[in-house]
Amino acid sequence: MITSDQTAREIFNEVINNPQRVPFGFGKKAALINIDPQKAYTRTDLYKTAYETDPNQLGYTMDLVKLFRSLNWPVVWTHVAYMDSAADAGIWGTRTDTPDSLQNIKFDSARSEFDDRLDIDYKNEAVYTKRMPSAFFETPLQSLLVWHQVDTLILTGGSTSGCIRATAVDSLSRGYRTIVPQECVSDKHESYHFANLTDLHLKYADVMTVADVIAELGARS
């Protein structure tokens, strides 16, 4: 095992600026998967479970949404919420039990609501409630992607070390090219965030700047 005194951010910057991997690249058609941009995780002014890496993260996300709409490509939104009993959280909901705990994000609660800065088209964009980290787990996502003949996924949201990573691993495992715009994902601590961006880029996805992703999509619109 290599040891280092570098921070996770420094290692990420070194990796991203010295490409050693052939990128997966963009395929013929992409879907935008916005993972859990709900108030429990975006409203840093209200909830201690919330986090922010780039203050314009949701603005960048909406820029991508608008581009996808112009291309008539699928946009998906996920959020987590649980029954009052939290039985649907399973073993994941047993490590802590405080008002801030994951399994205590209840249906119709403020914590389960999407951030007000987002403009979601509920008539034309898929909205899934998920219970576990991956956006694929026990949701209709796979069927939607097959119907739209998608070969590429672009992931936004959080957390980088949790639901983004889990979805990216599942995405690659299902044969999708996977793109992570780095300003569009976030985590509670920069160490988790940058360590997982590094690992995602080296193994499971192309981590890119949102400007480069927008430029790629803009060339197709």
* Rounded-to-integer distance, Cα 24 and Cα 95, Å: 37
* Rounded-to-integer distance, Cα 37 and Cα 28, Å: 27
Helix (H, G, I), strand (E, B) or coil at 101: coil
Q: Which residues contact 20 (CB under 8 A, 6 or more apart)?
A: none
CB of 129 closer than 8 Å to CB of 123: no
- Mark whether 163 is an active-site residue: yes
Phi-psi region of 202 (alpha: psi -120 to 50; beta: other; left: phi over 0): alpha
Of 163, 169, 207, 213, the catalytic one is 163
The residues annotated as belonging to the active site are 163
